[in-house]
Copies of this chain bind each other. A is one copy, B any other.
Amino acid sequence: MEEHQINWSLINRVRTKNPIVLTLANLVTIDKVADSISAVGASPIMSIEPAEANEIANLANAITINLGTVNQQQIDQMQTILQMVPPLKPLVLDPVAVSAVPSRLKLAQSLLSKFHFDVIRGNASEIAALVDADNTSHGIDAGKVDRPIQVAELCARRFKSIVILTGETDLITDGQIIYENPFSAEMLTMNVGSGDMLSSIVAAYLGVTSNTWDACIVATVLVSAAGVLANRYSVGLGSWQVQFFDQLSIMDTKALLEFLEESEEDYLD
C-alpha cells in the first residue's frame, strides 16, 4: 500500500461538487441514509415509483441499490434503471440479508450475472453467500466466515467489482490487493443502518472520481473514523448516533488526515 497514495481530498471534493446520489433504499434506514449522504456533502434522491425510474436515474451521478426491503415494485424500478445506466454511471450493490433470505440471494446473483456493479458492500456472511462460500448467518447481522480475505477476493474476482466486506476489520479488495481498515467501532454494529449508510456514501465519492479504489477506501475510513470519534464521549447508542452524524457532517480532508496521524501511534505502531 505504501506506493499508492490515497486521494483523501475526495472528502472536500464531494462537499464542493455536491454530486447527486440515488439510493434504491432500505425503508428501515432510508432516513439515516439520506441524512448521511447530505452530511458528507452530496445530495440524496430517493423514489419508490417504477414510473420515475428513468427520470431519477438520469439525475443521479451515482446509484446504490440496497436490497434491505426489496419488493416487486422496487425490482421493477431497478430493472429499468440497470438496463438504462451501464456503463455510464457508477453502481453500488448492498446485498442486505442475502445470507439469510434465499430469494434475496437469488435476486442478487441474478443482478450480478446481468449487470456490472463497480462496488459490492456487505458483511462477511453476505459476501460469502454471493459466492456460495460456507457460512453461518444470523438474521440480518454479520455472521462470521472462516477466511474473510479469501471470500472477499473471490467475490471481487468473480464479479469484477471492488468488494467492501465490513465487520470487525473492514476489508477492501479488487481481488488482488487487500486494504485492511485499521479503524473499527463496535457501535457501528449496534446502530441499524451503518452498512446502508456506507454503501450510499461510497456512491457519493464515486460521483466525483473514476478511481473506484480510492472512493471505497476514503468512504470506509471516513465512516469508521466518525464511528471511532463518536465513541469518545458517548454513553450508549443514542449519544453515539448524535456524535457520529456530527463527525460525518464536519469532517473535511484536513480533519481526517489529522485523525489518521493521531491514530497512527495507537493502531499502526
Contact = CB atoms under 8 A, between A and B. Distances in A.
A69 interface: yes
Nearest to A37: B192
Interface in A229-262: 234-239, 241-250
A18 interface: yes
Given A71-B49, A139-B20, A246 B236 contact: yes
Contacts of A101: 47, 52, 55-56, 59
Interface in A86-138: 97, 100-104, 138
A245 B237 CA distance: 6
A81 interface: no
Contact of A35 (B49, B55, B191, B242): B191
A138 B60 CA distance: 10
Oligomer: number of copies: 3
Interface in A20-77: 20, 25, 27-32, 34-35, 38-39, 43-49, 51-52, 55-56, 59, 68-73
A180 interface: no
Interface string A204-247: 00000000000000000000000000000011111101111111
Nearest to A26: B46
A34 B28 contact: yes
Nearest to A59: B100
Contact of A192 (B38, B51, B104, B193): B38
Given A28-B30, A38-B192, A238-B249, 19 more contacts: A18-B139, A27-B48, A38-B190, A38-B191, A39-B190, A39-B237, A43-B138, A44-B139, A45-B97, A46-B69, A48-B69, A48-B71, A49-B69, A49-B72, A51-B103, A52-B104, A56-B101, A71-B73, A238-B245
